């Protein structure tokens, strides 16, 4: 397993996911994780959305009419997480569509537009970038998002206030996935987490990000991926 900071935006995430796949060619699944704004009133801060599909909402063709690009979540990983979700409590886990685009959604009208356009229950940035890199290499992909805000005018402040809550819950679910399969490349677009491999067993030890994640997120766009194989090598 390899873990990496994936950078900010679809393109940066795709580039660094491709680099990660190239360094670890045995990877069978790319997982993109981070925060999201809710497009569904039934989702609250701290809930987690596992993407059955990632749809690229800002792919705008004017010379032709084609459906928006959509990337299905890895079926085996979805089945594993559906089974594991029953054992977790304290927050809701939704399996649904996630919208992806290089845009901060900070108004209720724009959120409603994206929801109508895509059918998604939450919106974030980088997921389609990671999914494109995975598809290019003929391997699976999965996007998992923790809800930090309602994609409205309060979103900028709510994002920073609620990020530790959302990431702590997301990591509880992610750990289930990572302890059952080793051939994963995990791309996180913000925050901190640490990996270890006690007794050479492949286990993720996640620490929720601190509020200073805002600075780390902004400065991550031009960094080389930091990869941490869980077999103890670097």
**pLDDT in the model for residue 226:** 41
**pLDDT in the model for residue 227:** 40
Residue 99 lies in a domain: yes
Residue 181 lies in a domain: yes
User: 101 with 56: CB under 8 angstroms?
Assistant: yes
Which range marks the domain in which residue 208 is found? 2-60+68-219
Average pLDDT over residues 1-16: 88
Q: 116 - beta bridge partners?
A: none
**pLDDT in the model for residue 193:** 39
User: 158 with 104: CB under 8 angstroms?
Assistant: no
pLDDT at 97 over 70: yes
Cα torsion at 218, 165, 126, 42 (round to 10°)?
-140
**pLDDT in the model for residue 203:** 25
**pLDDT in the model for residue 195:** 32
**pLDDT in the model for residue 174:** 87
Q: Domain tally for the chain?
A: 1
**Beta pairing class for 70-72 and 48-56:** antiparallel
Residue 226 lies in a domain: no
Residue 231 lies in a domain: no
Residue 105 lies in a domain: yes
Which pTM value belongs to this model? 0.79
Residue 233 lies in a domain: no
Average pLDDT over residues 165-184: 82
Q: What is the CATH number of the domain that holds 100?
A: 3.40.50.1580
Residue 232 lies in a domain: no
Give the tens place of pLDDT for each residue, 51-64.
999 999 999 888 98
Give the tens place of pLDDT for each residue, 119-149.
999 999 999 999 999 999 999 999 999 999 9
Give the tens place of pLDDT for each residue, 177-218.
777 665 666 777 654 433 332 222 222 223 333 333 322 233
**pLDDT in the model for residue 172:** 93
Q: Closest Cα to residue 71, out of 23, 22, 9, 29? A: 29
How far apart CA 24 and CA 18 sit, in angstroms, is 10
Which tokens hold the place of 110?
A: 């724009």
Residue 230 lies in a domain: no
**pLDDT in the model for residue 168:** 96
How far apart CA 84 and CA 176 sit, in angstroms, is 7
How far apart CA 37 and CA 101 sit, in angstroms, is 12
């Amino acid at each position: 397993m390899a873990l990496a900071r994936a950078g900010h935006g679809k393109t940066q995430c795709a580039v660094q996911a491709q680099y990660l796949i190239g360094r670890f060619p045995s990877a069978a699944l790319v997982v993109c994780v981070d925060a999201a704004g809710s497009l569904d009133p039934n989702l609250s801060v701290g809930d987690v959305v596992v993407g059955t599909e990632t749809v690229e909402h800002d792919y705008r063709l004017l010379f032709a009419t084609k459906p928006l690009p959509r990337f299905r979540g890895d079926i085996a990983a979805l089945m594993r997480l559906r089974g594991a979700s029953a054992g977790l409590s304290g927050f809701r886990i939704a399996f649904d569509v996630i919208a992806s685009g290089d845009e901060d959604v900070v108004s209720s009208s724009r959120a409603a537009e994206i929801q109508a356009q895509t059918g998604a229950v939450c919106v974030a940035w980088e997921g389609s970038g990671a999914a494109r890199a995975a598809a290019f290499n003929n391997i699976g992909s999965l996007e998992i998002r923790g809800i930090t805000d309602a994609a409205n005018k309060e979103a900028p402040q709510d994002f920073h206030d609620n990020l530790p809550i959302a990431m702590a819950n997301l990591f509880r679910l992610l750990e289930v996935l990572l302890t059952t399969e080793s051939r994963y490349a995990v791309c996180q677009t913000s925050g901190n987490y640490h990996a270890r491999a006690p007794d050479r067993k492949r286990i993720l030890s996640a620490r929720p990000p601190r509020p200073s994640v805002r600075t780390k997120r902004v400065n991550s766009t031009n960094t080389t991926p930091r990869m941490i194989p869980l077999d103890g090598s670097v």
